[in-house]
Amino acid sequence: MTGAILVGGEARSSDRFFQATDPATGELIEARFPEAGIEDVDAACRLADLAFMDYAMSPPTRIAAFLEKIAENILAIGDDLIVSAMRETGLPRPRLEGERGRTVGQLRLFAGLVRQGEWIDARIDPAMPDRAPAPRPEIRSRKMALGPVAVFGASNFPLAFSVAGGDTASALAAGCPVVFKGHPAHPATGELVARAIQSAVSDCGLPEGVFSYLPGPSHELGQALVAHPLITAVGFTGSRAGGLALMKTAAERETPIPVYAEMSSINPVLLLPSRLKAAAEALGGAFVGSLTMGAGQFCTNPGLLLVLDGPDADRFLDGATKALVESAALTMLTPGIHAAYCAGIEALADHGGARLVARGLVGEGPHMARAALFETSASQFLSDPVLSREVFGSTSLLVRCKDEAELCAVLEGLEGQLTATLHMDEGDQALAGRLMPRLIRKVGRILANGWPTGVEVTHAMVHGGPFPATSDGRTTSVGTMAIERFLRPVCFQDISDVLLPEALRQDNPLSLPLRVDGQRI
Ligand SMILES: NC(=O)C1=CN([C@@H]2O[C@H](COP(=O)(O)OP(=O)(O)OC[C@H]3O[C@@H](n4cnc5c(N)ncnc54)[C@H](OP(=O)(O)O)[C@@H]3O)[C@@H](O)[C@H]2O)C=CC1
Ligand SMILES: O=C(O)CCC(=O)C(=O)O
């Protein structure tokens, strides 16, 4: 790790440098990192475009081997990666070791998907020369990579949602070169991973433009990347303001492109009456575990609790309070995120319509967050949209609803969400059944008797949801379905075998699963 801008196989420097902050001490970390400029954006995008068709038309085995090589190279960095991420993010070792496992596992899962070939969705509708009144031509289609993709890393997952994270893995799996905008909060960690990918490109004999890494702390850099005419799609995880700004730029280009932004969610948790009666205090304690995990810096953090008012709601609050007042303050990722959290808590505390229930322990460090729990009534909540805004960190608001109608009104008033959680038992089935259609309209993932934090990386996972949870609720950013975001169908009508992509040739040289005249074979 030397402090470099990686444009294809080249390591570049700059006359402008930036430093990260150690959030645990508040001090600048000594290493200086060159800031990528517009000329680097242009060079990286041109190389990505040059690499595109060669990479995209590679046999699936070549792309899969590349993804596996990236995973191997990340593991080969060893403990330096964990130590670097701990220093730059303030996150603890076990969390980061787990995140490295998730990152590597995610790359391997996509490798398996790519090899299996179903994602290509190869379809053949044979010609019907004798069809009356007009013959039918032969029609074949497959899914193809979109082109070079710009990916923005998230501050809160320096590995699993950053340089070799889900967006990069799904874009590379689809056959798209990636130009990565490094998050300025973890430049050393970012560069270590970027170099692992750069080496994998050369280890696998791929064209150098398949991956570039552009570190820097300026909005201009990210804006120039999204505006670059050779970029064909964007993957982003971060703030609502950042996601909206990139969506605007993408939409105003001469050729507009899709932006897949994961932004803002408060993740309602519904404590249904029969389950609450049976386990109110225990649920309160378990809730605090999810709320405070990682200082609450998850887009899946349970930021809203919905309950039918009564003594069991009070018992839940008692259980939560007991756990919360003993919860340790934790270092947040950056001074900016800490300041935004403190401002959000202050606004809720000063809000006449919400009552502070409990706070966690005070911390010693400069950017430590104390957990917080507030409560309000459904009528207050419905009357002021400020109460439903996300405060990124370990705070949550319990809303007391006087009856089912009020609970439904609260659900209907919510914006799109990544998740909704039902705590329920058999006695709650009927109510849950009535709520389900409302939840399906609002969220990407509905879960029962668990907590929304900690997303599994699987084939059926959906980490998405209607706006503003994401910019496009038709897709997911976690799990293998994410590959769909970076593909488009291309159809070949009466094209001779020799001109067809290998995936669609008559003798099926890639042994792909096919759909012939609508039937899977
Ligand atoms: N949905 C989620 O999962 C997450 C949400 N957040 C939210 O984001 C807040 C800030 O955290 P942070 O990680 O810095 O997220 P940001 O959205 O501020 O930044 C994420 C990335 O986008 C870039 N970016 C941000 N705004 C713009 C813009 N207008 N134009 C071009 N590029 C932009 C940033 O680069 P640069 O700064 O160099 O411009 C960075 O690389 C948190 O307090 C929280 O509210 C954070 C993490 C995850
Ligand atoms: O909870 C998780 O595992 C993922 C959360 C996430 O996507 C995020 O916080 O950005």
pLDDT digits (tens, 9 = 90+) for 8-27: 999 999 999 999 999 999 99
Q: Is the Cβ–Cβ distance between 432 and 272 less than 8 Å?
A: yes
Residues 62-100 pLDDT 10s: 999 999 999 999 999 999 999 999 999 999 999 999 999
Query: pLDDT band for position 2 (50/70/90)?
Result: confident
Q: What is the mean pLDDT of residues 378-382?
A: 97
Q: Is the Cβ–Cβ distance between 391 and 240 less than 8 Å?
A: no
The closest residue, in CA terms, to atom 4 on ligand 1 is 238
Tell me which of 299, 390, 401, 406 is the catalytic residue: 299
Measure CA 341 to chain center.
20
Q: How far apart are CA 82 and CA 192, in angstroms?
A: 10
Q: How far apart are CA 313 and CA 280, in angstroms?
A: 7
Q: How far apart are CA 171 and CA 80, in angstroms?
A: 27
Examine the pLDDT at 37 and tell me if it is beyond 80: yes
Residue 86 is predicted with a pLDDT of 98
Which of 155, 214, 228 is the pocket-test mutation for ligand 1 (most atoms within 8 Å of CB)? 155
Q: What is the mean pLDDT of residues 178-205?
A: 98
How close is the Cα of 454 to the center of ligand 2, in Å? 7
Q: What is the pTM of this model?
A: 0.97
Q: Is the Cβ–Cβ distance between 493 and 138 less than 8 Å?
A: yes
Architecture of domain 5-11+32-263+473-504: 3-Layer(aba) Sandwich (3.40)
Ligand number nearest CA of 180 is: 1
Residues forming CATH 3.40.605.10 domain(s) in the chain: 5-11+32-263+473-504
Provide the β-strand partners of residue 356: 374
Residues forming CATH 3.40.309.10 domain(s) in the chain: 268-448
Q: Please tell me what DSSP assigns to residue 470.
A: B
User: Is 262 a known active-site residue?
Assistant: yes
Q: Give, for 212, the enclosing helix (H) or strand (E).
A: strand 211-214
Residues with CB under 6 A from ligand 2: 154, 156-157, 161, 237, 298-300, 453-455, 463
The closest residue, in CA terms, to atom 20 on ligand 1 is 238
% of the chain exceeding 90 in pLDDT = 99
Homologous superfamily (CATH) for 268-448: Aldehyde Dehydrogenase; Chain A, domain 2 (3.40.309.10)
Would the ipTM clear 0.90, i.e. be above it? yes
Q: Does the beta carbon of 67 lie inside 6 Å of ligand 1?
A: no
| Torsion from C-alpha of 10, 13, 17, 23, nearest 10 degrees | 30
Q: Which residues, other chains included, contact 173 with Cβ-Cβ below 8 Å and sequence gap of 6+?
A: 63, 67, 110, 111, 113, 114, 119, 483
Query: pLDDT band for position 330 (50/70/90)?
Result: very high
Measure CA 196 to chain center.
21
- Which atom of ligand 2 is the closest one to the Cα of 297? 9
Q: Does the beta carbon of 249 lie inside 6 Å of ligand 1?
A: no
Residue 225 is predicted with a pLDDT of 98
Which of 33, 168, 239, 337 is the pocket-test mutation for ligand 1 (most atoms within 8 Å of CB)? 239
Examine the pLDDT at 1 and tell me if it is beyond 80: no
Residues 164-190 pLDDT 10s: 999 999 999 999 999 999 999 999 999
How close is the Cα of 23 to the center of ligand 1, in Å? 17
Residues 331-376 pLDDT 10s: 999 999 999 999 999 999 999 999 999 999 999 999 999 999 999 9
Residues 411-431 pLDDT 10s: 999 999 999 999 999 999 999
How close is the Cα of 455 to the center of ligand 2, in Å? 6
Residues 215-235 pLDDT 10s: 999 999 999 999 999 999 999
Question: What is the rounded average pLDDT for all residues in the chain?
Answer: 97
